[in-house]
Each structure stands twice: as C-alpha cells, then as structure tokens.
C-alpha cells in the first residue's frame, strides 16, 4: 500500500472543502445519517449536484454508506461522516493564503449564522449550563503554543464525544441535542500608536 505524502493529504482535504455545499453536507453528516436527497433539500441545491458532492466526500474517505432503502423503483443511499475535514498545522501553512482566507471566512459566517439563529429562536438561553466565554490576554511565545495545544486537545476530545454520542443515538429513538461549538484562538490586531 502506497503511503500518501502530506501534499496528497492536503489536496484530499482541500477537495473535501472545495465547495460550500460539500462543506455543509459534511457538517450535516457529522451530526446525523442522511441521503443525498435529504442533504440537497437542507442545503438548498439540486439532488444531482448533491449526489456529486456526496460521491466526492465518499471518495475522499470522509463519509461512509450505512444503509439503503428502496424508493419508487430506485435505491436511496444513506451516509454518515467518519471524520471531519481538519487541517494539520503543516497542511494549513502550505495552503495558499487566499484559500485559507476563504475557508476562515466561510467558518466565521457559519458561526455567526448559527449564533444569530440560536439567539432569535431563544435556544441560546434555553439551557442554563451552556457556555460562553471570551478571553483577551497577553502571553509569551510558549504561552501561545500552550494555548493552541489546549484548543487542539479540546477539539480532539469533542470529536470523541460526538462519535460516542452518535453510536448511542443510533440505537435509540432520542433525537439528540443540536450543539454548536466554536473555538477560535487568534492574535489580536495590534493597536496603532
């Protein structure tokens, strides 16, 4: 078996994120099982286009087929995500800056949309154990590295929590709790003197 080098891995991740509809579909499939037809409806695109995006995600190894069901003389396929599209620090550094800016921009817009919808619907304050925090701090280079490592560990643990929750939900009638978590660590703009 040939070992992929980091450039190939980066290209695979980039391809998985090449289109906003594909990113949205992957996010949905990280939450639940769905068919291309269901994804097309939720994302707001045609079934044909979504079927293409699903094939690309499947080829890239981000989703897997979990079941099929007969539908009016055809077969509907149902998928779930098996991993998230995540860049290593080394991969991220090799991505051209305009592409990085586009990815960050999409994520920030999605974060803002989810937060706005939660505030408008009242779901943001529905639970007293929800979390919101903003820390502004001054750290040295070692502190920066420690903080970024902590965010990475938190993301890995959140992925584990989601995977075990998905397994538990598959065997029950429980719908689950739609949870959104945004973790951002960035260097603030330096005030002009």
Domain ranges of the chain: 1-91, 96-128, 131-183
Q: What is d(CA 49, CA 176) in angstroms, rounded to the nearest whole number?
A: 28
The sign of the CA dihedral 136, 137, 138, 144 is: negative
> Do the beta carbons of residue 62 and residue 26 sit within 8 Å?
yes
> Do the beta carbons of residue 64 and residue 30 sit within 8 Å?
no
The CATH code of the domain at 1-91 is 1.10.10.10
Q: What is d(CA 92, CA 99) in angstroms, rounded to the nearest whole number?
A: 10
Q: pLDDT digit of tens for each residue in the chain (193 aa)?
A: 333 444 444 566 677 677 888 888 988 888 788 999 999 998 889 999 999 999 999 988 889 999 998 888 888 999 998 877 777 777 778 778 887 888 888 888 888 988 999 999 999 999 989 898 888 999 999 999 999 999 989 988 988 898 888 788 877 888 888 888 888 888 888 876 5
pLDDT for res 40: 93
């Amino acid at each position: 078996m040939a070992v992929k080098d980091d450039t190939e891995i980066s290209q695979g991740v980039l391809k998985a994120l090449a289109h906003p509809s594909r990113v949205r579909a992957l996010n949905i499939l990280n939450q639940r099982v769905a068919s291309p037809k269901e994804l097309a409806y939720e994302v707001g695109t045609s079934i044909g286009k979504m079927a293409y995006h699903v094939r690309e995600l499947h080829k890239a190894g981000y989703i897997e087929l979990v079941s099929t069901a007969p539908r009016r003389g055809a077969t509907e396929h149902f998928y779930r995500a098996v991993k998230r599209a995540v860049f290593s620090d080394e991969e991220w550094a090799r991505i051209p800056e305009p592409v990085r800016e586009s990815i960050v921009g999409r994520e920030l817009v999605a974060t803002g949309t989810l937060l706005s919808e939660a505030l408008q619907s009242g779901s943001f304050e529905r639970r007293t154990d929800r979390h919101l925090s903003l820390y502004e701090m001054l750290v040295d280079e070692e502190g920066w590295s420690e903080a970024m490592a902590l965010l990475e560990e938190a993301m890995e643990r959140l992925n584990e929590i989601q995977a075990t929750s998905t397994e538990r939900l598959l065997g029950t009638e429980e719908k689950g709790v739609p949870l959104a978590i945004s973790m951002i660590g960035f260097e603030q703009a330096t005030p002009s003197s």
